[in-house]
Chain A
Amino acid sequence: EPEVTQTPSHQVTQMGQEVILRCVPISNHLYFYWYRQILGQKVEFLVSFYNNEISEKSEIFDDQFSVERPDGSNFTLKIRSTKLEDSAMYFCASRTRQAQTEAFFGQGTRLTVV
Chain B
Amino acid sequence: EDQVTQSPEALRLQEGESSSLNCSYTVSGLRGLFWYRQDPGKGPEFLFTLYSAGEEKEKERLKATLTKKESFLHITAPKPEDSATYLCAVNSEGGKLIFGQGTELSVKP
Contacts and interface: CB of A to CB of B under 8 A. Distances in A.
Interface of A: 4, 6, 31, 33, 35, 41-45, 48, 55-56, 58, 89, 91, 93, 95, 98-108, 110
A68 to B, nearest CB: 19
Contacts of B44: 43, 91, 105
B99 A108 contact: no
Interface residues on B, range: 20 to 34
Interface of B: 31-32, 34, 36, 41-46, 49, 51, 87, 89, 91, 94-102
From A41, A43, A56, residue with most partner B Cβ within 10 Å: A43
Given A100-B31, A100-B91, A101-B49, A56 B41 contact: no
A109 to B, nearest CB: 10
Contact of B95 (A4, A44, A99): A99
A106 B43 contact: yes
B99 A42 contact: yes
